Homo-oligomer: A and B are copies of this chain.
Amino acid sequence: MTNNEPKLTKKQIAIIETATELFAEKGYAGTSTNEIAHKASVSEGTIFKHFKSKKGLLMAIVSPMTMKLFAPMIKKDLDKVLDQEFEYFQDLVRAMIDNRKAFIQNNLPMLRILIQEIPFHPELKEQFIEYIGKDIFEKIGQIIKYYQDKGQLVEMDQKTIIRTIASSILSYIVARYVLLPEADWDSEEIETERIVQILENGLVPKN
């Protein structure tokens, strides 16, 4: 949908992929451009030719353009979920958890970078918010309205509902896959069901 094609060379892609991996693993400040160059089988000079500076590389990784590389995927598979018009809100939540879980597992490195580096690079925050906001928020807003109209969702303001759902899902996923990946967790189905149940009874009005 974006007109100006990125046209990244093979080396550029190798650099971005390697850097993404390493930044995620060791942090931005803890990764040297030399290491990136080696692992990407590229000369250090090439990195700077393309990305101007180490920070430039970081920004490229999380830049809208790069995100757009993921965006189609993100949108498409989010749409798959959102467009299904589940009979019950709970089924939507269940589907979203699976969907988000898959996405996060696939994009763990970039998300790790975002989470770790946002506090140190104010520019990142803006990109993150813009990206999340623009592409995802609206759609979700519509869905929520749909279930509110159906009487399956409390009439709280949307921001709060989104935050509640998001924080329930994200805090579980982040804890499980980012912060404490080695801890012993119950099976995914059971964890999923718990979240659903809690969200259900908390957000669905009693009559």
Nearest CB on B from A203, distance (A): 5
Q: Interface range on chain A: under 10, 10 to 19, 20 to 34, or 35 or more? A: 35 or more
Digitize A69-91: 1 where CB-to-B-CB distance is under 8 Å, 0 elsewhere.
00000000000000000000110
A160–B89 alpha-carbon span in the complex (Å): 22
Residue-by-residue, is A171-190 near B (CB-CB < 8 Å gives 1, otherwise 0)? 11001001110000000000
Q: A168: which of B118, B119, B152, B167 is its contact (CB, 8 Å)?
A: B167
How many Å from the CB of A99 to the closest CB on chain B? 18
Q: How many copies does the complex hold?
A: 4
A110 to chain B, nearest CB (A): 14
Binds B, one of A6-14, A58-66, A135-143, A194-202: A194-202
In the complex, A41 has a CB within 8 A of chain B: no
- In the complex, 29 of the A-B residue pairs with CB atoms within 8 angstroms, ordered by the A residue number, are A27-B29, A27-B119, A27-B120, A89-B203, A112-B119, A116-B116, A118-B179, A119-B178, A153-B203, A153-B204, A154-B201, A154-B205, A155-B205, A161-B203, A164-B198, A164-B203, A167-B167, A167-B168, A167-B175, A197-B202, A198-B202, A199-B203, A200-B203, A201-B201, A201-B202, A201-B204, A202-B202, A202-B203, A206-B206
